[in-house]
Amino acid sequence: MPAHGGRAKKRVEMSLDPAGKSACATAGPMPLVLHIAITMQTSALFFVAALAASGAVRDFDVVVYGGTAGGVVAAVGAAREGLKTALLEPGGHLGGMVSGGLGWTDYGKKEVIGGYALEFYYRVGRHYQMPLHGQDLAWRPEPHVAEEIFRSMVKEAGVTLFEHQRLREKGGVRKDGARVAGIATENGDEFTAKVFIDSSYEGDLMAQAGVTYTFGRESSSQYGESLAGVRDQTPYHQFLVDVPAHDAAGKLLPEVSSRQLPPPGTADKAVQSYNYRMCFTDVAANRVPFARPAGYDPARYELLARLLRARMQAEGRAPALNSLMTLDRIPNGKTDVNNNGAFSTDYIGGSWNYPDASYAERARIWQAHKDYQAGLFYFLANDPQVPEALRQELNRWGLCKDEFTDTDNWPHQLYIRESRRMVGEYVVVQKDLQTERAKPDPIGMGSYNSDSHNVERIVGPDGNVRNEGDMQVGVQPYQIPYRVMLPKQAEAVNLLVPVAFSASHVAYSSLRMEPQYMILGHAAGVAAKLAIESGKPVQAIDVAALIATLRKQGAVLEYVPSPQAPALQTFPRLVRQ
């Protein structure tokens, strides 16, 4: 293959027809000649390889990499500004976590969500016929409904969608000075654009573009953040009864780390835990029982068995299922299942190597999380060490036959709560959420509490198990600055990063909610238009014009609480149902 920067223009395109057969369309003078002197199957493989090697060069105004919710809205936002826009998704689904199981939307104060993010929830409301109830919005879509809506938005906006287009792992980004000139995908295609938007959870385009980034936890001294670094004893998602970390022979129990905890406030490369946000149902006709996973070993859950026994003794009854995981109701007899308690669906410690891992290692990490959670469900549903009442409670539920139908009813997206974080023109930190909440360049608002899940499970000073890393600290609504998605100008002048954006671990833990990714994506799409129109770096656009456009498109830049909110908060105590 020629050098990346000198490859000839496109000669052959390959696609798959609905039956999975290859099809090609020539778009240049060079014919593709294949000498078939071997079997049909081998010939077909050679044909595909030849096409991939030849590649195609596709030119757009804007290329968005990553079909997360933020990526979809970024592409839609750019296309609605009249820009020729491509959306590249490494896999085969759109919406990231919003269509990947996170149906119980983390909205914080609903009044801060506006613009095209709010449009998404308006469309969800239309799907569920909320106007029949005098309402416009719905916040809790089923996974397949969320993806259908995202696909409709992409199609209606005229975005060109490319699925199964993963960035080449090495040499995937070509630069001309501080300008990203093109990106190459694994099938050999190259995409050129005036502006690129990295909307992946991992920040892969950003990283290959040479933009400074970090991961893990800063020290409390780096940005003056009281919540930063290693955390001291925390009360939530914690062992509330004593469970010794070692067995009778002195061996450390599975799922407990031997790491000696550094002092509170110390920086490290620990990454908050990931999980799959499961979609369960208790509708018998739609229920798939919890299967015994390959390689299952009940001994892995010995710590959980001991925790259940200790809780039984302390509480005098079998623990309830909702004390081990949350099962939040979404429409049509389904739930969004999330972590809750000391030993739950978070695979604590399993995420540390993810940010800079190779594609192959990431795949192994995804599988390891699935193995852990599938084993957990099977253990709780079947193991005699689990109280019978708890087993019966879980067995009311199962996976949904009508969700994730191409991945055996298991979510197609691992919840990457945090991975790489850009270190850009401006780093949002704790004070930006708590005391310095107004900004000169607001593009949206956040309001969800600082929410970091535990990073590790360790042996406490008393020899008992405890979890470390949890952060649940409330915030008041705050403005999000445009600068949060700007790389340093010396590093990239035509790249916007609305997902792996520039924030400390503490600040990212609040800003990382899916509505905020969509808010940032909307702003990125509009900012791309201003950069292209003016011929300026994304760092030098007219921010006042950006703000004015966003306001016209429904963005919320000031928090105005609903006068009904206080009343609505009192009713749950009065109405029991």
Tell the residue number behind the tokens 């972590």, with chain if given: 339
Q: What percent of the chain has pLDDT over 70?
A: 90
Q: Is the pLDDT of residue 22 over 60?
A: no
> Which tokens go with 420?
């790489």
Give residue 209's pLDDT. 98
CA separation for the pair 525, 116 (Å, rounded): 11
Locate 421 and state its tokens.
């974080």
Q: Phi first, then psi: what are they for 486, rounded to 5°?
A: -100, 125
Q: CA 343 to CA 341: how far, in whole Å?
A: 6
Residue 59 has pLDDT above 80, yes or no: yes
Answer whether 175's CB lies under 8 Å from 120's CB.
no
Distance CA 233, CA 111 (A): 33
- Among 50-54, 253-257, 376-380, 571-575, the minimum mean pLDDT is found in 50-54
Q: Where does residue 463 rank: exposed (0-12), middle (13-18), buried (19+ CB within 10 A)?
A: exposed
* pLDDT class of 79 with cuts at 50, 70, 90: very high
Most distant CA pair in the chain: distance in Å?
80
Inter-residue contact 529 to 80 (CB < 8 Å): no
Mean pLDDT of the 185-189 span? 96
Q: For position 55, what pLDDT does the model report? A: 84
Where does residue 366 rank: exposed (0-12), middle (13-18), buried (19+ CB within 10 A)? middle
Helix or strand holding residue 151 (H, E):
helix 143-157
CB 459 within 8 A of CB 258: yes
pLDDT band, residue 576 (cuts 50/70/90) = confident
Task: List CB contacts of 298: < 8 A, sequence separation 6 or more.
Answer: 379, 383, 385
Over residues 28-52, the pLDDT tens digits come to: 333 333 332 333 333 333 323 333 4
Q: For the chain, report the end-to-end CA distance as a whole number of angstroms.
A: 66
Q: Quote the CA–CA distance of 401 and 281 in Å, as a whole number.
A: 9
At residue 398, the pLDDT reads: 98
Give me the mean pLDDT over the 206-231 stretch: 98
Q: Return d(Cα 255, Cα 379) in angstroms, integer.
A: 15
Task: State residue 30's pLDDT score.
Answer: 35
Sign (positive or negative) of CA dihedral 155, 157, 158, 163: negative
Strand, coil or helix: 390: helix
Q: How confident is the model at residue 569 (pLDDT cuts 50, 70, 90)?
A: confident
Per-residue pLDDT of 368-383, as tens digits, reads 999 999 999 999 999 9
The model's pLDDT over 502-538, given as tens digits with 9 standing for 90+, comes to 999 999 999 999 999 999 999 999 999 999 999 999 9
Inter-axis angle of helices 115-127 and 143-157, nearest 10:
120
Nearest 5°: the CA angle 294, 298, 301 is: 115
DSSP class of residue 538 equals: G
Contacts of 112 (CB under 8 A, 6+ apart): 444, 445, 446, 447, 477, 556, 559
**Which structure tokens are listed for 398?**
């199962």
pLDDT digits (tens, 9 = 90+) for 224-233: 999 999 999 8
Q: Which of 210, 353, 342, 369 is nearest to 278 (CA)?
A: 369
pLDDT digits (tens, 9 = 90+) for 270-299: 999 999 999 999 999 999 999 999 999 999
* 3-class secondary-structure state, position 574: helix
Q: Is the pLDDT of residue 418 over 50?
A: yes
- Paired with 445 in beta bridges are 479
Residue 577: pLDDT band (50, 70, 90) is low
Distance between CA atoms of 334 and 327, rounded to whole angstroms?
Answer: 9
**DSSP class of 254:** T
Q: Which DSSP letter does residue 10 get?
A: P
Predicted pLDDT at 33: 30
Q: How far apart are CA 507 and CA 33, in angstroms?
A: 56
| Structural contact between residues 86 and 159, judged by C-beta atoms closer than 8 angstroms | yes
Give me 272's structure tokens.
């908050």
Tokens matching residue 341: 């308690």
At 309 the three-state DSSP class reads helix
The residue among 289, 334, 304, 299 whose CA lies nearest residue 101 is 334
Question: Is the CB of residue 532 less than 8 Å from the CB of residue 61?
Answer: yes
State both tokens at 565: 């909110």
Length of the chain: 577
Per-residue pLDDT band at 13 (split at 50, 70, 90): very low
Give the pTM.
0.90
Q: Tens digit of pLDDT for each residue in 235-251?
A: 999 999 999 999 999 99
Contact 409, 403 (CB under 8 A): yes
Do 443 and 546 touch, CB atoms closer than 8 A?
Answer: yes
